[in-house]
Chain A
Amino acid sequence: MRPLTIQRLFLQCGILTGILFVVVIVALKAGAVEVSLFALGRDLIRVLVHHGGEIKSDYGLIVMNIRLPRILLGIFVGASLSVAGTGFQALLRNPLADPYVLGVSNGAALGAILALIVSPHLSLLPQIADLLTPLGAFLGAAATIAAVYILGRRQGQIDSTTLLLGGVITASFLSAIIMFLMTSVTGSNLRGMAFWLMGNLSTSLQPSVYWVLGIGFVVATGAIYTTASDLNLLLSGEKEAMHLGVDLARVRLVVYIAASLLTGLAVSVSGAIGYVGLLVPHVMRQLFGSDHRTLLPTAALGGAIAVVIADTVARTIVPPAELPVGAMTALVGAPLFIYLLRRGIA
């Protein structure tokens, strides 16, 4: 008998944080413009001690203003999707559940596409016009969450099966509307639309957006983490969990809302990056076990590592062109998933 201890949890998270750090350094270095490790280290320390203004060279500009924000975005998106995927898999009691299973990504894509169609017709300040697409995406995601939540209720409570069916139906309905818009609206930004469907991290965002994402991530992940041991009991069934003292209604509500919020935030800035939220939880379960008290933080770190690696490969593999990161995660994720499936794990 080896119950989880706080030391073991910190050790596991520490190892993954170390790996993430190395991955971030490599990602900062990799790219069309060569950067020496020494210069990178020196400048990173300068940024950390708030002397970022002393970085003068143009590589500094590239690293700090282009690569670093993109890596931070990758960390946020990967961590959010993995935590949301872990939550949905436990809540819906379905190993195939991913953050998009309830149609949140389709709602976000529809919102973003509507924003892309509308924005040329509005005379907005450039700063506000930049925000319009992620805002549209987030509103689309929120509307979908609300609609699926209403569909998924039975006798005033969320019913996992009804929720799942409601989500699948909503997703297919929304993607039909997206197809309709993409084929019927002429002269619109088709490339921008494709972005929402495939997933991409190349958006430039204002600093305030990073704060929104960061705070949203901490709050939503913290909320899910308070239900970690309840989610462990849910693995053996809803009735069993109830008889072991789990307040099912509260756990369902907290995990559903928080996981949807994480998905909505991630999709609104990056589009729908596939496979991360599905696979990372499975891989972490293999490495560290099914206990959600360790699975949630390790999945967050694992997801961050996976997306930063995938994005770095995607932007360096065929220079100067860039692949969408979603194409990269699907290229690697699909065979990996089949491998896990054949081993009877997923």
Chain B
Amino acid sequence: MSTLARPPAGMTMRSVGDASRANSEVRLSVEQVSYAYSLNPAQAPLFTLEATSFQARAGEIVAILGPNASGKSTLLKLIAGSLEPLSGRVLLNGFATHSLSVKTRAQRIAMVQQESPLLFPSRAWEFVIQGRHPHGRSLRFESAADVSIAQNALAQVGAAELSDRWMAELSGGEKQRVILARALAQQPLLLLLDEPTLHLDIAAQVDLLHGLRRLAVENRYTVVVVTHELNLAAEYADQVLLIQRGKCLRAGAPSAVYQRELLEQVFHTSLTVELGPSGRPRVHVAADREEGK
């Protein structure tokens, strides 16, 4: 078993991502963004996110990794523009995401969250066509174009046959695909996903990430995904950000970030890191975990 102690600097492993990197300009630019959360402005903040920066191009997938309560979701909300940064800015094609109107933001940014239960029954297609909402006036009825965009979105995630099913009848994996289809129906520039693989079995997880990779390339989305799945992130992301207690420890290609000492320090457990057959790092929980460590 070979442990990847320190990969050569500037080592590149990805052909698709690198090709897009070379010939497309920066779409998402996170510049020194920080945030502080406190219940009362007079008190010391309960949580702070230190200045974080990274850039992403069209067709790229960025994974945000870190233990629970490290600030991953906060960073995602700052990127989405639903939180205002304390300092710094998030630019999407040159516009600060927080200063966009709610509607314009929804035309450019789609967010896939951990699903909350529906209040009243709804069919899958009704759910997906809601993605067209930011593109229409409030009292408009859906046009033929909206319908075909929604149908395409369902087809793109391989869920065309789910169209007439009730949302409540779908399995976890099917539901996740329909939720993703609604985000695609928004035709966004930026696709954000908050732990999309939660509650999915391993096959559905691989399926989802594989689908995301394909969609990012085909539709030229910039994808930012918050996840706990270190190996899936290593396999599918062009860049990873490692966050611990509100501090971005490292950002870059998976091979540059996945170092044993660093990951062990962040996740507080013994790990081994090796190079997988795809040329990307793989993380294993060390079987010979020492007592009391």
A interface, CB within 8 angstroms of B: 1-6, 89-90, 93-95, 225-230, 232-237, 239-240, 242-247, 285, 289-291, 293
Cα–Cα distance between A5 and B141 once the two chains are bound (Å): 6
CB-based contact A228/B102 at 8 Å:
no
Q: Does B89 contact A (CB under 8 A)?
A: no
Q: Does B103 contact A (CB under 8 A)?
A: yes
Q: Does B82 contact A (CB under 8 A)?
A: yes
Q: Which B83-114 residues have a C-beta within 8 angstroms of A?
A: 102-103, 105-107, 109-111, 113
Partner of B113, one of A233, A235, A239: A239
A/B interface sample: 28 pairs, CB < 8 A: A1-B129, A1-B147, A3-B129, A3-B141, A3-B146, A4-B142, A93-B119, A228-B139, A229-B138, A229-B139, A233-B130, A234-B119, A235-B118, A235-B120, A236-B116, A236-B118, A239-B116, A243-B106, A243-B110, A244-B133, A244-B186, A245-B102, A246-B102, A247-B102, A247-B103, A290-B126, A293-B139, A293-B141
Size bin of chain B's contact surface: 35 or more
Residues of B within 8 A of A242 (CB): 82, 102
Distance from A345 Cβ to chain B, minimum over Cβ atoms (Å)? 8
Residues of B within 8 A of A90 (CB): 119
User: What 8 A-B pairs come out closest when comparing CB atoms?
Assistant: A245-B106, A245-B134, A237-B116, A243-B111, A3-B142, A290-B120, A245-B103, A1-B125
Residues of A within 8 A of B134 (CB): 244-245
Cα–Cα distance between A134 and B45 once the two chains are bound (Å): 51
Per-position contact with A for B71-87: 1 when CB-CB < 8 Å, else 0? 00000000010100000
Distance from B68 Cβ to chain A, minimum over Cβ atoms (Å)? 19
Cα–Cα distance between A235 and B118 once the two chains are bound (Å): 6
Cα–Cα distance between A4 and B147 once the two chains are bound (Å): 11
Cα–Cα distance between A89 and B119 once the two chains are bound (Å): 9
Q: Does B231 contact A (CB under 8 A)?
A: no
Cα–Cα distance between A232 and B147 once the two chains are bound (Å): 17
Q: Which of B103, B109, B130, B146 has the most CB of A within 10 A?
A: B130
CB-based contact B139/A226 at 8 Å:
yes
Cα–Cα distance between A95 and B113 once the two chains are bound (Å): 23
Q: Does B163 contact A (CB under 8 A)?
A: yes
Distance from B134 Cβ to chain A, minimum over Cβ atoms (Å)? 3
Known: A227-B138, A246-B133. 18 other contacts (CB 8 A): A1-B163, A94-B119, A95-B119, A95-B120, A228-B139, A229-B133, A233-B130, A239-B113, A240-B116, A243-B106, A243-B111, A244-B106, A245-B103, A245-B105, A247-B102, A290-B120, A290-B122, A290-B126
CB-based contact B151/A243 at 8 Å:
no
Residues of A within 8 A of B142 (CB): 3-4
Cα–Cα distance between A345 and B106 once the two chains are bound (Å): 32
CB-based contact B120/A233 at 8 Å:
no
CB-based contact A4/B113 at 8 Å:
no
Distance from A210 Cβ to chain B, minimum over Cβ atoms (Å)? 28
Cα–Cα distance between A236 and B113 once the two chains are bound (Å): 11
Distance from B179 Cβ to chain A, minimum over Cβ atoms (Å)? 9
Residues of A within 8 A of B126 (CB): 289-291
Partner of B120, one of A225, A244, A285: A285
Chain A residue at minimal CB-CB distance from B182: A244
Cα–Cα distance between A200 and B136 once the two chains are bound (Å): 43
Q: Does B127 contact A (CB under 8 A)?
A: yes
Cα–Cα distance between A51 and B118 once the two chains are bound (Å): 53
Chain B residue at minimal CB-CB distance from A94: B119
Residues of B within 8 A of A237 (CB): 113, 116
Residues of B within 8 A of A293 (CB): 139, 141
Residues of B within 8 A of A230 (CB): 138
Q: Does B173 contact A (CB under 8 A)?
A: no
Distance from A213 Cβ to chain B, minimum over Cβ atoms (Å)? 25
Q: Which B177-195 residues have a C-beta within 8 angstroms of A?
A: 186
Chain A residue at minimal CB-CB distance from B131: A244
Chain A residue at minimal CB-CB distance from B81: A243
Partner of A6, one of B105, B141, B151: B141
Residues of B within 8 A of A244 (CB): 106, 130-131, 133-134, 186
Residues of B within 8 A of A1 (CB): 125, 129, 147, 150-151, 163-164
Chain A residue at minimal CB-CB distance from B127: A236
